[in-house]
C-alpha cells in the first residue's frame, strides 16, 4: 500500500509540474493543421497545432485555458507525440483513451505510456475523464483533418 501511495504522489507531482510549466505552450504559425477542444462543464478550452514533416509530427503545441488536468494532459500529449509518425500518434491516442477511461487492462501496455500514466487516476472521475482527454481529441481531430494525400482536395 505504501508503494501505491508513493506512486500516487509521483503522479500528482507530474500533473502539477506540467500544469505549472506546460511544455510546448505556444502557437505554431507554420502548423500543418490545428483543432480546438472545449469542455464546457469544466471551462477548459484549448487549441492544438500540429506540423508534419512527411509522415512525422515534427512539431506540436497547444494554448488555452483550463484546469490542472486538462493543461497537464495537453502538455504531456505534446511530448508524447512529437517526433512520432501519424500512425504512432494514433496508437498513443488509443492507449491514452483506454487509460483515462479505465479500460486498459494490459499492465505492459500501460507501462509503455511512461509519464502519461499519471493521467490514469482520472478514470474514477467521469468529469475529469473529459478534462484529461480534451487535448487528445483535439489532436485526433487535427490529424483527421490533415490527410497527407488530400492535396488538391476540398480545402474546407
Ligand atoms: Zn477540466
Could you give the CA distance from residue 88 to residue 143 in angstroms, rounded to a whole number?
12
Each residue's pLDDT, cut to its tens digit, for the chain (156 residues) gives: 457 788 888 899 999 999 999 999 999 999 999 999 999 999 999 999 999 999 999 999 999 999 999 999 999 999 999 999 999 999 999 999 999 999 988 888 878 899 999 999 899 898 899 999 999 999 999 999 865 544 444 444
Question: How much distance in Å is there from the Cα of 127 to the middle of ligand 1?
Answer: 8
Question: How much distance in Å is there from the Cα of 53 to the middle of ligand 1?
Answer: 31
Could you give the CA distance from residue 156 to residue 137 in angstroms, rounded to a whole number?
20
Question: How much distance in Å is there from the Cα of 149 to the middle of ligand 1?
Answer: 35
Q: Where are the domains of the chain?
A: 2-145
The domain 2-145 is classified under which CATH number: 3.90.1010.10, 1.10.3720.10, 3.90.420.10, 3.40.50.80?
3.90.1010.10
Q: How far apart are the first and last CA of the chain?
A: 53
Question: How much distance in Å is there from the Cα of 126 to the middle of ligand 1?
Answer: 11
Cα 107 from chain centre:
20
Question: How much distance in Å is there from the Cα of 3 to the middle of ligand 1?
Answer: 28
- pTM higher than 0.85, yes or no? yes
Amino acid at each position: 500500500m505504501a508503494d501505491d501511495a508513493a506512486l500516487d504522489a509521483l503522479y500528482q507531482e507530474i500533473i502539477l509540474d506540467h500544469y505549472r510549466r506546460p511544455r510546448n505552450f505556444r502557437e505554431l504559425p507554420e502548423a500543418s493543421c490545428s483543432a480546438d477542444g472545449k469542455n464546457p462543464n469544466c471551462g477548459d478550452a484549448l487549441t492544438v497545432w500540429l506540423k508534419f514533416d512527411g509522415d512525422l509530427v515534427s512539431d506540436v503545441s497547444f494554448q488555452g485555458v483550463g484546469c490542472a488536468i486538462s493543461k497537464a494532459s495537453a502538455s504531456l500529449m505534446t511530448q508524447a507525440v512529437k517526433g512520432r509518425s501519424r500512425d504512432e500518434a494514433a496508437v498513443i491516442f488509443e492507449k491514452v483513451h483506454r487509460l483515462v477511461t479505465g479500460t486498459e487492462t494490459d499492465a505492459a501496455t500501460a507501462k509503455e505510456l511512461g509519464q502519461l500514466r499519471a493521467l490514469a487516476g482520472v478514470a474514477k472521475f467521469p468529469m475529469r475523464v473529459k478534462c484529461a482527454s480534451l487535448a487528445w481529441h483535439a489532436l485526433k481531430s487535427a490529424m483527421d483533418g490533415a490527410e497527407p494525400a488530400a492535396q488538391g482536395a476540398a480545402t474546407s
